[in-house]
Amino acid sequence: MNKDPAVDAFYSTWPWRRCKDAYLASVGGLCERCQAKGLIVLAEQVHHKTRLTSKNLSDPAVTLNWDNLEALCAECHQAEHHPRRWRCGADGHVAIVSPP
């Protein structure tokens, strides 16, 4: 998933698994973005708002801080990491969307 093996390894540690499970329980196991839209969808991922890197990996204020976490369903997590690069206009034509 990540290009940095150290970041990938972090996701299998017991501090992360314990933090992730506790965070998911605290939000009722629901996707926070869907819930904000009035939808009830189970969360499948806990997303770090600040992306983990080898430089911030040893900082628990980034890696384990609940203020940096967001429970997301698979669709919202996919949209966060791989935004759609096209859109369909009202006329049915597909347009390429420029990356931000």
pLDDT in tens, 53-82: 999 999 999 999 999 999 999 999 988 877
| pTM reported for the whole predicted model | 0.78
User: What gap in Å lies between CA 95 and CA 30, rounded to an integer?
Assistant: 32
Which residues form the domain of 59? Answer: 5-96
CA neighbor of 49 nearest in space, from 61, 39, 58, 38: 61
User: What gap in Å lies between CA 98 and CA 100, rounded to an integer?
Assistant: 6
Residue 100: pLDDT band (50, 70, 90) is very low
Domain count, the chain: 1
What is the residue whose two structure tokens read 């196991």? 29
Neighbours of 87 (CB within 10 A): 10
